Amino acid sequence: MYRIRFHGRGGQGIKTASRILGSAFFNEGFEVQDAPVYGAERRGAPMFAYVRAARAPIQERGIITRPDLVIIADESLVPVPAANVLQGVTDRSVLLINSAESPATWKERLKRIGTIVTLPVSAEITDRAELPYIGVMCAGAAACLTGVIRCAALEDAIRTELGAHGEAVVTQNLKQAMAAYDAMQAQAGLVIEGGAMAATDYADPEWVELQFEAARIAAPDVFAPGTSVQVKTGVWRSMRPVIDYELCHRCAWVCSTFCPDSAIHVRADGAPEIDYDHCKGCLICATVCPPHAIRVVPERDAQAEETEGAKA
């Protein structure tokens, strides 16, 4: 059975990618399961989707914890603990990373001796949540890496899954998917099917065992909002809102009220201030600000500016 996991961000077409790959397997006569798993809401948030494909009925259920192939559509997810892209990866797993960096660099960085393949899709793109063809390209590359999906089966799957969007969309996606498929030709068949798993093969998920404590200590004690302050949802952000204080009218309540995460505080002088540890980058504040005092900057550029500023 092939066990394949896609990791990406909300908005990158990862759910569709898993459906395309599942349909392509189906076209080749496989039994298939595919399902997306979302965390919290909105574009940019880490999510994953998985595909199982086998020549016999699939009895396994649930999240794939021992993947044969992991596709990382967004390399910025690798260091994000919540994305957990390396969960269950072993030396026999293949990692396909959308990155302009070489497999050797990634091997060194991840300290892995398994197989890493890179697909440089997004080097020139700034808003990662809007990579237009990343999902379909990952599906095309993955199809080739399995070695059991022909171009015709992939094309039919893309037509099935995207046909409702019209011929122009299908044509563009086909072009990108086939380019990614061709780019992987040298590694066709690299992914090896895993064997059947028995219940005795089950490995505990990577959870944290909490010590049992008396109810007096361990019972929930939530009296106010903000108890999730330790969850730095700012890592989800692909675009950053930046307040231009020259243009800001200090109307105060508009942006801070509309921010769904209470990530804009009003300072004592009446000026708004964004808490970037918890701003998810939904950009509602930029939309509602009456004088357009909040500009939108690609997160990558903003971080580069910060690094430069710190050096200066």
Instruction: Pick the closer one to ligand SF4 by CB: 197 or 251.
Output: 251
- Contact in structure between 3 and 58 (CB atoms under 8 Å): no
Question: Distances from the Cα of 303 to the Cαs of 233, 242, 296, 307, 310, in angstroms?
Answer: 16, 12, 13, 6, 11
Q: Where are the beta strands (DSSP E) in 161-293?
A: 239-243, 264-266, 272-274
Instruction: Pick the closer one to ligand SF4 by CB: 129 or 255.
Output: 255
Is residue 297 at the binding interface for ligand SF4, with CB under 6 A as the rule? Answer: no
Return d(Cα 9, Cα 162) in angstroms, integer. 19
Return d(Cα 274, Cα 203) in angstroms, integer. 42
Is residue 263 at the binding interface for ligand SF4, with CB under 6 A as the rule? Answer: yes
- Write down the least CB distance from residue 46 to ligand SF4, Å: 16
Residues in region 230-249 near ligand SF4 by CB under 6 A: 241, 243, 248-249
Instruction: Pick the closer one to ligand SF4 by CB: 8 or 281.
Output: 281
Is residue 289 at the binding interface for ligand SF4, with CB under 6 A as the rule? Answer: yes
Stretch that binds ligand SF4, among 65-73, 203-211, 223-231, 288-296 (CB under 6 A): 288-296
- Write down the least CB distance from residue 303 to ligand SF4, Å: 15
Return d(Cα 32, Cα 23) in angstroms, integer. 8
Which of 251, 273, 298, 302 is the binder for ligand SF4 (CB under 6 A)? 251
Residues in region 5-24 near ligand SF4 by CB under 6 A: none
- Write down the least CB distance from residue 15 to ligand SF4, Å: 23
Contacts of 19 (CB under 8 A, 6+ apart): 34, 161
Degrees to nearest 5, angle at CA 263 with 261 and 264:
130
Is residue 295 at the binding interface for ligand SF4, with CB under 6 A as the rule? Answer: no
Which of 85, 137, 144, 274 is the binder for ligand SF4 (CB under 6 A)? 274
Read off the tokens for 260: 């769904």
Strand, coil or helix: 29: coil
Which of 78, 254, 297, 302 is the binder for ligand SF4 (CB under 6 A)? 254
Residues in region 77-136 near ligand SF4 by CB under 6 A: none
Return d(Cα 12, Cα 45) in angstroms, integer. 10
Return d(Cα 282, Cα 292) in angstroms, integer. 16
Is residue 294 at the binding interface for ligand SF4, with CB under 6 A as the rule? Answer: yes
Stretch that binds ligand SF4, among 11-19, 83-91, 181-189, 279-287 (CB under 6 A): 279-287
Looking at residue 193, the DSSP 8-state letter turns out to be: P
Return d(Cα 137, Cα 99) in angstroms, integer. 13
Instruction: Pick the closer one to ligand SF4 by CB: 175 or 250.
Output: 250
Instruction: Pick the closer one to ligand SF4 by CB: 138 or 263.
Output: 263
Where does this chain bind ligand SF4 (CB under 6 A)?
Answer: 241, 243, 248-252, 254-255, 259, 261, 263-264, 272, 274, 279-285, 289-291, 293-294
